[in-house]
Amino acid sequence: MKKQELIHLHGLLAEVSNDLATYHDVTFELADYESLGVRPTSIHRSKTDHKAAVSTLADELTEELEAVATETEQVTATAD
C-alpha cells in the first residue's frame, strides 16, 4: 500500500471514530493510538508511522465496538 493510500485509510478510520462518538454516543478509549502522536493530517510522518497508527486505531476501534456490542442486549430474530 502506498503512503497516500495509508493516509487516506487513516483519515477514514478517524472519521469513523468521530462519527460514532458524535452520532451514536459511543465513547472510545484510544490511549495507544493517541500515544503514537500520528494523525491523518501528519503527512510529513513516515509511511511506517501511518501504518502503525492505522493498525493501532483499527485494533482499538474493534475492541471498543466489541465491548459495546456485548454490553447491549442482543435481540433474537423471530418471525410473527
pLDDT single digits (tens) 37-67: 999 999 999 999 999 999 999 999 998 888 8
Sign of CA dihedral 65, 70, 74, 77: positive
> Which residue carries 513516515 as its cell?
46
Cell 477514514 locates to 12
pLDDT tens readout for residues 2-26: 999 999 999 999 999 998 888 777 7
What is the set of domains in the chain, with CATH numbers? 3-65 (1.20.1270.110)
Helix, strand, coil fractions of the chain, as percent rounded to 5 = 65, 0, 35
Q: Is the pTM of this model over 0.85?
A: no
